[in-house]
Structure 1
Amino acid sequence: MSEMPLTVRRSLEVMGLFFLGWTIVLAKGLLAPLLLAFFISIMLLPMHSYMRRYKLPEVLSIVLSILALVVVFGLIIWFFSFQIGNLISDFPVIQRNVTSHLNSLSAWIEGHSPFSTAEQMKFIQDQSSKMLSYAGTILSGAAGSVTSLFILLGLLPIYIFLLMFYKNLLLRFVFLWFPKGMHPEVEDTLRQVQVIVKSYLFGLLIQVSYMTVLLGGILLIIGIKHALLIGLIFAFLNLIPYVGALLGNIIGVLLTLASSDQLWPILAVLGTIAVVQFVDNNILMPRIVGSKVKINALATIVGVIIGGEIAGIAGMFLSLPVIAVFKVVFDMTDRFKQWGVLFGDERPEESPMRVAALRQAGALPDRKRPGLRKKSIPHGQDNKS
């Protein structure tokens, strides 16, 4: 391979990435739950190792780890169901508030446009009839989604158990792919992947907890109805980079509109979300996750969109850790180092068109003085676990 022309090598790399992406799309039904189980099993490894130190059998320690995970997610689902129950119990008030807001909106439109209330009602009826024509398709799709969700929830514990039980076999399989001289680099890469995945997923779990308590608590003190539900929904949607925060704001506004006949709670919800998100992005989350996952905004947005197209909501959640794992692997190989640069956020201050040294893989401009410095150690290399 080293004797091939550079253009041929680059063409083979692009073709390989294309066929890899094609394979992922074709096998998304199998790969999405496997990938989710892989990340969760890495997150459960510390608990499993702790129980193994006390001489618990392998199978028992794995089962107890999975049961702990089930208890945590069961509590989250119970809390969410409880909040949804409170929302449903307020349905008469919600219906009255929605009618009031729609009447106010209709009056505003009639005063600022040539459309009368009767024309607006006719337009709404026409659109409603069109929407009803798609109801069968939507319901069938929803039924398929629910079925797929139950299948995923049934297979996920099995996948997690098998991945944890056969982890040594899988690690041996990985090492056998490489010559003996590369085994230290492979070990270092695997340790970095483990550190990144654990820190990221544990960080997300902590983020969901404090975002729900912080946002929901502030809104509850202000007097916003269904404050904890707004905080919980926003906390989970905020896990989807960029897109999730926008959806969380929209859902928060809609829940507030439905629960109040005044407009000031909307401003309170939007302002509180903005403040909490600023504290989360600039103070709390950087300290929790640290600097191990450094992906630029462009790669993040593109990854979220591609992940959503491939595997829906689960793909959006998994996009960032998958990109981070790919970046670690690319950074550790000379042949694919340029792809690691493309995913990272180490943006040169000078243009490679003017500074010839920036066209190489090992240097970045120093912000404090002119000249160049060597690239720092890849993230997580000094924090092995």
Structure 2
Amino acid sequence: MNQLPLTVKRSIELMGLCLLCVLILVGKAIIMPLIMAFFVSIVLLPVYRFLKKGRLPDSLAILLSILLMIVSGIVVIWFFSIQLSSLLVDFPQIKKTLLLHLRELSEFLGQKTHYSTQQQLQFFHEQNAKLLNATGDLLRQVATSLSSVFVLMGLMPIYVFLLLFYKNLLVRFVFLWFSAKDHNRVEEALRETESIIKSYLIGLLIQIAFIIVILGGTLQLLGIPHALLIGIILAFLNLIPYVGIFMGTFIGLFIILASSQELLPIVELIVVVVVVHFLDQNILRPRVVGSKVRINALTSIIGVVIGGHIAGVSGMFLSLPIIAILKVIFDRTDMFAKWGVLFGDENPVHSPMQKLALRIWKRS
């Protein structure tokens, strides 16, 4: 490989990258649950090790760790369902409020444009027919997604159990791929990968709690309807880097518009979201995640888009930790070290066009 021309090496790397993307697209139904189970098993490792100190058998320690995960998931779903049920109880009032807003919008358009109420109604019926067709397609996609979710929920505990049970076998398999002189680098990469995943996912759990308590509590004090539900939606959508906060804010605005005839709650929501997001990104996130996931914004956004295209919401959520793990691997290999530089956030102060030393990669 070292004897090949540089252009051939780069071409092989790009072909390998394209082949990897194709494999993920074709086998995402199998690969994505495995990746998610891998991340969950890393998070459960401290619990498993703690139980092992109590001299529990491997299988029992793993089962208790998985049981803790399942109970935590049930509590989250129960809390969300309570908040959602309150929204469904107010559905008749929400319907009236939406009709009122539509009527006001129709009167505004009638005053500012040449479209009459009849023309607006005709346009509305035409768009409604298109919307119904699109909704039918969306419902079919949701049904497919739900079936995938149920399959994932069934497979996840099995995958997590097997990954934890055979962890020593899997680690040995990784070491066997490398010569003895590279084992120190491999061990360093494995330990840093574990640290990155734990820091990132545990940090996200802290972020979720922070946003629900601070944002939802503030909106509750301001008297905004369904404040906790908006806080939960924003907290979980915030897990999707860069894009999630806008999606959550849009959904929150829609809930407020559907529940209130006043504009003040909308302004309050936007102000509270901006303040909480600023505190989250500049104070909380750097402390709970630290400097473990150091990926530049360009790579992060491209990774989120590609992850969403390949595997939907789960791909968007997993994109950053996957890129961070790839960077750890790339930084420790001579062949792919340049990709590690591309993924990182160490932006040179000087241009490589003027500073010749920046054109040469050196291992730190």
Q: TM-score range by the shorter chain?
A: over 0.9
Per-residue displacement from partner, 1:189-234 (whole Å, max 9, x unpaired)?
0000000000000000111111111100000001101000000000
2:333 pairs with 1:333: yes
Give the drift of 1:71.
Answer: 0.9
Q: Which moved more, 1:7-16 or 1:34-43?
A: 7-16
2:185 pairs with 1:185: yes
Aligned to 2:63: 63
Aligned to 1:371: none
Aligned to 1:342: 342
Q: Which amino acid aligns with 1:117?
A: T
Task: Give runs of ≥4 in structure 1 deviating > 4 Å.
Answer: none
Per-residue displacement from partner, 1:50-92 (whole Å, max 9, x unpaired)?
1101101100110110111111111110011000100000112
* Separation of aligned partners in 2, 1:139 and 1:178: 48
When the two chains are superposed, the root-mean-square deviation of aligned CA atoms in Å is 1.1
Equivalent residues, number: 364
Q: Within 5 A, what are the aligned runs for 1:167-246?
A: 167-246=167-246
Give the drift of 1:142.
Answer: 2.1
* Separation of aligned partners in 1, 2:221 and 2:314: 33
2:3 pairs with 1:10: no
Aligned to 1:96: 96
Aligned to 1:34: 34
Aligned to 1:120: 120
Give the drift of 1:360.
Answer: 1.2
Aligned to 2:278: 278
* Separation of aligned partners in 1, 2:138 and 2:38: 32
SS of the counterpart of 1:42?
helix
Give TM-score, length-normalised by structure 1.
0.93
* Separation of aligned partners in 2, 1:186 and 1:213: 41
Aligned to 1:138: 138
Q: Which amino acid aligns with 2:103?
A: N
Q: Which runs of 5+ in 1 are unaligned?
A: 364-374, 376-385
Q: Which amino acid aligns with 1:237?
A: L
* Separation of aligned partners in 2, 1:43 and 1:93: 43
SS of the counterpart of 1:353?
coil
Give the drift of 1:138.
Answer: 2.9
Q: Which amino acid aligns with 1:70?
A: I
Q: Which amino acid aligns with 1:261?
A: Q
Give TM-score, length-normalised by structure 2.
0.98
* Separation of aligned partners in 2, 1:265 and 1:322: 38
Aligned to 1:301: 301
2:53 pairs with 1:45: no
* Separation of aligned partners in 2, 1:187 and 1:173: 13
* Separation of aligned partners in 1, 2:141 and 2:287: 41
* Separation of aligned partners in 2, 1:133 and 1:319: 32
* Separation of aligned partners in 2, 1:126 and 1:335: 57
* Separation of aligned partners in 2, 1:156 and 1:112: 55
Aligned to 2:262: 262
Structure-2 change in CA distance of 1:230 and 1:135 (3 Å)? closer
* Separation of aligned partners in 2, 1:66 and 1:227: 32
Per-residue displacement from partner, 1:279-328 (whole Å, max 9, x unpaired)?
00001111111011011111011101110111111101100000000000
Q: Which moved more, 1:13-22 or 1:265-274?
A: 13-22
Q: Which moved more, 1:141-150 or 1:258-267?
A: 141-150
Per-residue displacement from partner, 1:326-345 (whole Å, max 9, x unpaired)?
00000111111110011111
Q: Which amino acid aligns with 1:246?
A: F
2:158 pairs with 1:158: yes
Q: Report which of the two has the higher share of helix.
A: 2
Q: Which runs of 5+ in 2 are unaligned?
A: none
* Separation of aligned partners in 1, 2:217 and 2:326: 38
* Separation of aligned partners in 2, 1:237 and 1:135: 22
* Separation of aligned partners in 2, 1:235 and 1:262: 25
SS of the counterpart of 1:215?
helix
Aligned to 2:77: 77
* Separation of aligned partners in 1, 2:32 and 2:84: 28
* Separation of aligned partners in 1, 2:136 and 2:352: 56
**Percent of residue pairs identical:** 52
Q: Which moved more, 1:8-17 or 1:148-157?
A: 8-17
Give the drift of 1:135.
Answer: 4.3
Give the drift of 1:349.
Answer: 1.0
* Separation of aligned partners in 2, 1:137 and 1:105: 28
Q: Which amino acid aligns with 1:339?
A: W
